[in-house]
Amino acid sequence: MRILFSVLSFFALPSLLMAQAKTSKLDIVHLTGDAYVYSTYHDYKGSRISSNSMYLLTNEGAVLFDTPWDSTQFQPLLDSIKLKHGKQVVLCIATHSHEDRTGGLEFYRNQGIKTYTTRQTDLISQVKHEKRAEFLLKKDTTFKVGQYAFQTFYPGPGHAPDNIVIWVNKSKILYGGCFVKSTEASDLGNLADANVAAWPQSIKNVQQRFKYPKFVIPGHQGWSSRLSLIHTLDLIATYQRSKH
């Protein structure tokens, strides 16, 4: 009976792990060095969708690139970073005005964390009643926090009129947010605020500015491939052909 139980347990384990993955609310995965990708989840049009964000550990504390999509994970993310790394979050940058990027700005601001968006994002957030940051970026900006420098870059409109990307030069990480589609994506997703006509040139602007990324992090789905920028261009071309 013990042998049978062990065999049954072995075959049940993959199903158990898959079930846990489906019910997880916060996943944190080491990317490289001091960089981690964290994913939260939200129901969108009847499907459970992952939203990728990032944090970077520095000598002065942790930096968030975007906030959780799931509001129940605003505090658990802070707790996890504190427990796992012994770090407080000191800064958060949201990459555009949609809820899956800005949802936690007010919460983190109330925690004493410095929050940033571009001025363009803030204007849109005001109109759409999305959460707003305490500090506004008037132009592309390089931040220096502890031993790391990272820069924001506005490539032009694409997924949203205000989407920016973030480049961590030391680790060659391109954090694309929703401006970049995962290689797992079969379409362009939410186009409510998109400028599909301008998107290809905006992608090319990123490719010209940051030529050799080792990691490209899209806003949703898998992020193991460095070909997400090219895949995004392919999806745009497919979409444009379908409209003619």
Catalytic residue among 42, 85, 140, 190: 190
190 included as an active-site residue: yes
Catalytic residue among 34, 70, 98, 231: 98
Catalytic residue among 34, 66, 70, 100: 100
Closest by Cα among 77, 32, 26 to 56: 32
Q: Does the CA dihedral 35-67-229-50 come out positive or negative?
A: positive
Residue 232 corresponds to which tokens in the numbers above? 């995004």
Residue 110 corresponds to which tokens in the numbers above? 């109330």
Return d(Cα 201, Cα 179) in angstroms, integer: 12
159 included as an active-site residue: yes
220 included as an active-site residue: no
Catalytic residue among 52, 70, 122, 159: 159
129 included as an active-site residue: no
Catalytic residue among 96, 122, 162, 231: 96
Which residue shows structure tokens 């968030």?
A: 64
85 included as an active-site residue: no
Closest by Cα among 153, 240, 150, 225 to 184: 225
Hey, how many other C-beta atoms are within 10 angstroms of the C-beta on 209? Answer: 14
Task: Write out the catalytic residue numbers.
Answer: 96, 98, 100, 159, 190
